[in-house]
Every structure is written in C-alpha cells, then in structure tokens.
C-alpha cells in the first residue's frame, strides 16, 4: 500500500496475536477468559484485595 499509516495501524494487533495468540484462541473457543476473574493486574484502579 502507498500509505504507511495503513500498515502501521495493524502492528499492535499483529503483536497481540503473536504474543498472546493462545489466550485469544482459548477465549474464543471456551467463551471465557483463561485468567480467573479474581486476578487483577498490578496497577489496576479496581484492585480488590
């Protein structure tokens, strides 16, 4: 393509799939997250201890 922005726009999605493809596939196949709902990421504003 002539526009470099078109190629660059897909780079984050390509990276997510490359690094977390198994998690995406699990979520799609099982209709639930691989990570339990009790787990919150460090730095989350909604963390419940």
Locus of tokens 């999605």: 13
Give residue 1's pLDDT: 56
Give residue 25's pLDDT: 92
Q: Per residue in 1-48, pLDDT tens?
A: 577 788 888 899 999 999 999 989 998 999 988 877 666 566 566 555
How far is residue 38's CA from residue 49's CA, in Å, rounded to a whole number? 9
Give residue 48's pLDDT: 55
Give residue 43's pLDDT: 56
3-state secondary structure the chain: CCCHHHHHHCHHHHHHHHHHHHHHHHHHHHCCCCCCCCCCCCCCCCCCC
How far is residue 4's CA from residue 17's CA, in Å, rounded to a whole number? 21
């Amino acid at each position: 393509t002539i526009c470099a922005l078109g190629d660059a726009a897909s780079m984050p999605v390509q990276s997510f799939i490359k690094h977390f493809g198994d998690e995406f596939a699990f979520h799609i196949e099982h209709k639930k997250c691989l990570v339990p709902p009790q787990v919150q990421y460090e730095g989350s504003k909604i963390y419940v201890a």
